[in-house]
Amino acid sequence: MFSDMTKRLHIIFRGQVQGVGFRYTARSLAQPSHITGWVKNLSSGDVEIVAEADEELLREFQSHVEDHLSGYISDKTIDWQSATGEFKTFEIRF
């Protein structure tokens, strides 16, 4: 559902974030809220998330990801952008 309230959240998580189920956890947290976008491992060892939904849902999603994986995250970079509406689901990219 694309509306004026729809935003794009771009996050890079750093730390021991690969090999701990990060991508699968992010996907399982996004899907029930109908958040669209993707998550993927980066060659740097970081994990990148691009997600679109209403801003409030995205803030909740970010908080849930951080709560579930706080022991693995040492830093993050967050960038809020305008949504494009290009995604239909939330997927893991390889």
**Catalytic amino acids?**
23, 41
Report the half-sphere exposure of 16 (CA within 13 A, side-chain side): 4
Q: Which residues, in sequence order, are CB contacts of 86 under 8 Å at separation 6+?
A: none
CA–CA gap between residue 40 and residue 80 (Å, rounded): 18
Tokens of 34: 């109908």
